[in-house]
């Protein structure tokens, strides 16, 4: 049974074609070791197959769930070790006593520590365990491992080799990009990036390793992000501080004479990236979730509430005569700006070089609904609100919502599509 099939795959990085017309098929019970010089495209191949990198052409058939170990870890440092293992188990479609796996990889004594407090070697063990997770289930799965032995001690490397040999005998398959000759013990095929391959005799599994029950896989991005929000208080920090700081600055400069800039604090609280996108930037945590089929666009209720009440809060601070419900409704366009800003940041993150995208430049378009909302109340006196601003408020709401709905159409095509 084929667990992975790659047909005529071509991948470009910038102006260079890294992989061209690449073909591969991996059946149940096989382990292919990818070899090649640095820059030959091993990591690019794994990331294109898993749906992280855009592909120029070709077809990838890769049933989910599958395992993935990235060179950069693929998790956030504020997660607990046991939380990460449980998220990986959910995405892998396995259930059971995951503490057995933690003990096998000598991580059980650190299960309730933050990942950021682990040493580099222990963090690497966790990344490898995460990548092997689907293979600890009953159904045949494939695991994509990018330099899994890098940073591991000798004992951990032997655990990796023994587990791959045993899991391969159970019908699972592996695609491993590595320079480490020790991992060749568990290979059935050595394949060079130029397309040549050699079949070899693989080590036989001689040791029992844990087996968990296979269940339906699920991605838990919302739960992951919400947990990190509570732990780091990121929504309040990223939105509350700009809101309060801008109100204080405006009050210091203008006193009660704020008029058309009264909505600026609300705007500044609306444009930071969604908290899930912020958490996803560390150690390529977002790339791992994306490969697992999860979407990082998650709405944070606390942020929405803060944005809705911020016009009312600003009006109260500056002593503007107001009707509470009306000023909360004025916050609705800024919830739209919050969603549109999140869509812009999500698009930038999915580009080949996320950090190279100048997101503030894209976000300039969101000033347009701010100006419309400001115009809706600009003709008011300094201490009252206009009687009928709702047509302009509706228009200011529709513009960011159109951006929010439309931007996913610009996302680059990947094998996951």
In this predicted structure, the answer to whether residue 381 has a pLDDT above a threshold of 80 is: no
Using CA atoms, how far apart are residues 174 and 178, in angstroms rounded to an integer? 12
Residue 88 within any structural domain of the chain: yes
The reply to whether 416 falls in a domain is: no
Residue 417 domain-assigned (yes or no)? no
Residues contacting residue 240 through CB under 8 Å, at least 6 positions apart: 269, 306
Based on the fold, state whether residues 253 and 373 are members of the same structural domain: yes
Beta bridge mates, 33: 176, 190
Q: Are strands 94-95 and 213-214 parallel, antiparallel or unpaired?
A: antiparallel
pLDDT given for residue 382 in this prediction: 43
- Position 282 pLDDT exceeds 50: yes
Q: Report yes or no on whether pTM surpasses 0.85.
A: yes
Mark whether 251 and 195 lie in a shared domain. Answer: no
Residue 245 lies in a domain: yes
Q: What is the mean pLDDT of residues 192-207?
A: 80
Of 390, 374, 242, 214, residue with least CA distance to 310: 242
Which pair of tokens denotes residue 131?
Answer: 């990548």
Same domain, yes or no: 101 and 126 = yes
Helices and strands of the chain, counted as H and E runs: 17, 11
Residue 354 has pLDDT above 80, yes or no: no
Residues 349 and 249 placed together within one structural domain of the fold: yes
For residues 99 and 123, give the distance between their C-alpha atoms in angstroms, rounded to a whole number: 16
Residues 184 and 46 in one domain: yes
- The residue ranking higher by pLDDT, 143 or 380, is 143
Stretch 175-203: mean pLDDT, rounded?
90
- Decide if 135 is inside a domain: yes
| Residue 357, phi-psi category: left (phi > 0), alpha (psi -120 to 50), beta (remainder) | beta
70, 169: one domain: yes
Cα 38–Cα 149–Cα 279 angle in degrees, nearest 5:
85
pLDDT at 353 over 80: no
Give the end of a domain, one of 214, 247, 274.
214
Are 261 and 299 found together in one domain? yes
Domain boundary among 164, 186, 214: 214
Phi and psi torsions of 16, nearest 5°: -105, 135
Mean local confidence (pLDDT), 248-260? 78
- Looking at the fold, whether 242 and 136 belong to one and the same domain comes out as no
State the CATH number of the domain containing residue 35.
3.40.50.300
Report the percent of the chain where pLDDT is more than 70: 93
Cis? peptide before 65, omega within 30° of 0: yes
The closest alpha carbon to 321, from 252, 380, 390, belongs to 380
Q: Which residue has the tokens 């009050």?
A: 251
Q: What is the mean pLDDT of residues 134-152?
A: 96
Start-to-end CA span in the chain (Å): 22
What is the rounded CA–CA span in Å between residue 229 and residue 103?
Answer: 29
- Tokens for 176, please give them: 């491993």
pLDDT in the model for residue 358:
65
Q: For residue range 286-338, list pLDDT tens digits in order.
A: 999 999 999 999 999 999 999 999 998 988 888 877 677 888 889 999 999 99
Burial bucket for residue 222 (CB in 10 Å: 0-12, 13-18, 19+): middle
Same domain, 231 and 320: yes
pLDDT attached to residue 383: 42
Q: What's the token pair of residue 24?
A: 């591969």
The tokens for 67 are 């395992």
Domain hosting residue 91, numbered range: 2-214
In angstroms, the CA 341 to CA 321 distance is 30
Query: What does the alpha-carbon distance between residue 85 and residue 92 come to, in Å, rounded to a whole number?
Result: 10
Structure token pair of residue 126: 């966790």
* Confidence bin at 388 (pLDDT 50/70/90): low
CA dihedral of residues 351, 284, 76, 239 (deg, nearest 10): -20
Q: What average pLDDT does the segment 188-196 reach?
A: 90
C-alpha 313: how far from its chain's center? 33
Annotate 20-70 with DSSP letters as a single string.
EEEEEEEETT-EEEEE--TTSSHHHHHHHHTTSSB-SEEEEE-PSS-EEE-
Could you tell me if 41 and 184 are in contact, meaning their C-beta atoms sit under 8 angstroms apart? no
Share of the chain above pLDDT 90, in %: 70
Higher pLDDT, 163 or 384: 163
Judge whether 229 and 58 are in contact, CB under 8 Å.
Answer: no
Check residue 40 and give its pLDDT: 87
Average pLDDT of the residues in 176-190: 93
Determine the Cα–Cα distance for residues 398 and 4; give it in Å rounded to an integer. Answer: 43
Question: CB under 8 Å to 317, separation ≥6 — which residues?
Answer: 247, 251
Q: Do 127 and 185 reside in the same domain of the chain?
A: yes
Q: Could you tell me the two tokens for 200?
A: 């070899």
DSSP 192-253: ETTS-EEE-PPPPP-S-----EE------HHHHHHHHHHHH-HHIIIIIHHHHHHHHHHHHH
Lowest-confidence range among 119-123, 389-393, 413-417?
413-417
E strand segments, 106-212: 142-146, 173-177, 189-192, 197-199
The reply to whether 228 and 187 lie within a common domain is no
Q: Is residue 331 part of a domain?
A: yes
Mean pLDDT of the chain: 90
* pLDDT tens-digit readout, 34-61: 998 888 899 999 999 999 999 999 999 9
Q: For the chain, how many residues are written?
A: 417
Residue 105 pLDDT class (50, 70, 90 cuts): very high
Residue 205 predicted with pLDDT over 90? no
């Amino acid at each position: 049974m084929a667990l992975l099939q790659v047909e005529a795959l071509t991948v470009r990085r910038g102006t260079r074609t890294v992989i061209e017309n690449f073909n591969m098929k991996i059946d149940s019970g096989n382990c292919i070791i990818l070899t090649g010089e640095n820059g030959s495209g091993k990591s690019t191949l794994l990331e294109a197959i898993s749906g992280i990198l855009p592909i120029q052409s070709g077809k990838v058939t890769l049933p989910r769930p599958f395992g993935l170990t990235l060179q950069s870890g693929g998790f956030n440092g504020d997660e607990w070790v046991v939380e990460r293992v449980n998220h990986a188990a959910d995405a892998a479609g396995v259930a059971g006593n995951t503490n057995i796996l933690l003990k096998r990889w000598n991580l059980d004594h650190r299960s309730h520590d933050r990942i950021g407090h682990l040493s580099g070697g222990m963090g690497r063990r966790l990344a490898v365990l995460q990548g092997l997770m689907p293979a600890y289930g009953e159904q045949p799965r494939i695991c994509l491992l990018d330099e899994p032995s890098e940073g591991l001690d000798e004992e951990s490397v032997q655990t990796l080799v023994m587990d791959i040999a045993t899991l391969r005998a159970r019908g699972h398959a592996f695609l491993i990009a590595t320079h480490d000759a020790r991992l060749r013990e568990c290979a059935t095929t050595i394949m060079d990036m130029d397309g040549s391959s050699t079949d070899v005799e693989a080590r036989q599994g001689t040791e029992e390793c844990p087996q968990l029950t296979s269940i339906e896989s699920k991605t838990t991005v919302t739960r992951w992000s919400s947990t990190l929000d509570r732990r780091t208080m990121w929504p309040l920090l990223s939105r509350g501080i700009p809101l309060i700081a801008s109100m204080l600055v405006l009050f210091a400069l203008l006193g009660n004479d704020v008029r058309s800039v009264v909505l600026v604090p609300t705007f500044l609280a609306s444009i930071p990236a969604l908290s899930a996108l912020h958490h996803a930037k560390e150690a390529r945590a977002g790339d791992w979730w994306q490969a697992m089929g999860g979407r990082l666009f998650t709405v944070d209720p606390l942020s929405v509430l803060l944005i809705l009440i911020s016009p009312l809060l600003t009006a109260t601070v500056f002593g503007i005569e107001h009707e509470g419900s009306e000023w909360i409704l004025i916050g609705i366009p800024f919830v739209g700006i919050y969603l549109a800003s999140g869509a812009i940041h999500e698009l930038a993150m999915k580009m080949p070089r996320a950090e190279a995208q100048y997101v503030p430049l894209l976000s300039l378009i969101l000033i347009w609904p701010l100006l419309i909302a400001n115009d809706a109340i600009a003709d008011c006196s300094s201490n009252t609100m206009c009687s009928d601003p709702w047509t302009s408020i509706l228009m200011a709401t529709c513009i960011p919502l159109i951006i929010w709905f439309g931007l996913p159409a610009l996302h680059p095509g990947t094998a996951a599509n």
